[in-house]
Amino acid sequence: MAQIFRPSANSIAHASLLGVAIVPLVLGLAIAALSRSPWNTKVDVPLNQPVPFSHQHHAVELGLDCRYCHKDVEKSSFAGLPATETCMSCHSQIWTNSPLLEPIRQSMETNTPIKWTKVNKVPQFVFFNHSIHVNRGLNCNTCHGAINNMHITAKGNSFQMAWCLQCHRAPERYLYKDKAPEAQGRAPRQQVFDLYKKLQEGGMKSLDEREKQLMSGHFDGTNDPADILAGKKLINEYGVKTQQLADCWTCHR
């Protein structure tokens, strides 16, 4: 009886067996890695905008308050994007001939809003509210990364659910209050914006370790027992209902 296969078929058979074991594993890991990579999440990937607006320049170098443009951030779910008039409140006086600002002038002239490219978004089935986060003293950078260093705005974090839950399952690692005596009486939301002021006036060296991490976009929650204890106190003070914070309906209603 003639042989059906050549001897090399043995090697192919062995390789196939190995492949059956390895390929699904590698494929699974590759999908896992890709879905977490900037290729999918767009973290740190600057997006094209009609006008190359720099947060670093406006918020830190010039010292504009976040709320000058994102005026609803304390009161509304949506932080708000500035109307063309807001831009023009300065740019009708300075850089009036800058070619970079041509789209702003066009927008003003034709009375059509500028179409900014959305950088941070959550899916439609997620009910996110800016005001509650700001009013509990969570700094913009906690979610948006080192916005104070961005020339062209990029996403600071993945905004994947696992990332949200890091804080929603352990808010004490993220809640924060300035320890300086003069800051004690201030509303939590005031501290959010004061931190940028502090950075602008005193530079990085005026900040404590945690603030430095926050301002460089590397804050992933504290592990310092003292800070966690302080965070727990803030949870009590603010009345954060930790048992409900990671329930499905908190964000998906």
Partner 1 sequence: MPKQPLNDVMITGQQTYKSLDDSISSLILDQKRHKKPWWVMFALGVSLLGLLGASVTWLLYQGIGIWGNNIPVSWSFDIVNFVWWIGIGHAGTLISAILLLLRQSWRNSINRFAEAMTVFAVMCAGMFPLLHTGRPWVAAYWLLPYPNIMAMWPQFRSPLMWDVFAVSTYLTVSVLFWFMGLIPDLATLRDRATNKLAKVGLGIASMGWRGSNQHWHRYEQSYLLLAGLSTPLVLSVHSIVSFDFAVSIVPGWNVTVFPPYFVAGAVFAGFAMVMTFAIPIRKLYGLQDLITDRHLDWMAKILLATGLIVFYGYVLEAFYAWYSGNVFEWNNTYYRRFVGPYAWAFWSLILCNGIIPQLFWFPWARRNTFTLLFVCTSVSIGMWLERFVIIPMSLTSNYLPSSDKMYYPTFWDFGMYIGTIGLFITLMFLFMRFLPIINMFEMKDLLHKINHALQKHDEPHAEEASVGGGE
Q: Which stretch binds partner 1 (CB under 8 A): 137-145, 155-163, 189-197, 234-242?
A: 155-163
Q: Is 126 in the site for partner 1 (CB under 8 A)?
A: no
Q: Which of 30, 45, 161, 187 binds partner 1 (CB under 8 A)?
A: 161
Pair 103, 112: CB distance under 8 Å: no
User: Cβ closer to partner 1: 5 or 249?
Assistant: 5
What does residue 118 show for φ and ψ, rounded to 5 degrees?
Answer: -70, 130
Whether 202 contacts 194, CB under 8 Å: no
Query: SS3 letters for 105-162?
Result: HHHHHHCCCCCCCCCCCCCCCCCCCHHHHHHCCCCHHHHHCCHHHCCCCCECCCCCHH
Number of residues that bind partner 1 (CB under 8 A): 14
User: What's the rounded Cα separation, in Å, for the pair 171 and 175?
Assistant: 6
- Smallest gap from Cβ 165 to partner 1, in A, equals 5
Site string for partner 1, 26-65 (x = CB under 8 A): ------x--xx-----------------------------
Q: Which stretch binds partner 1 (CB under 8 A): 49-57, 161-169, 181-189, 209-217?
A: 161-169
DSSP 97: T
Residues in the site for partner 1, rule: CB under 8 A?
1, 4-5, 10, 13, 32, 35-36, 158, 160-162, 165-166
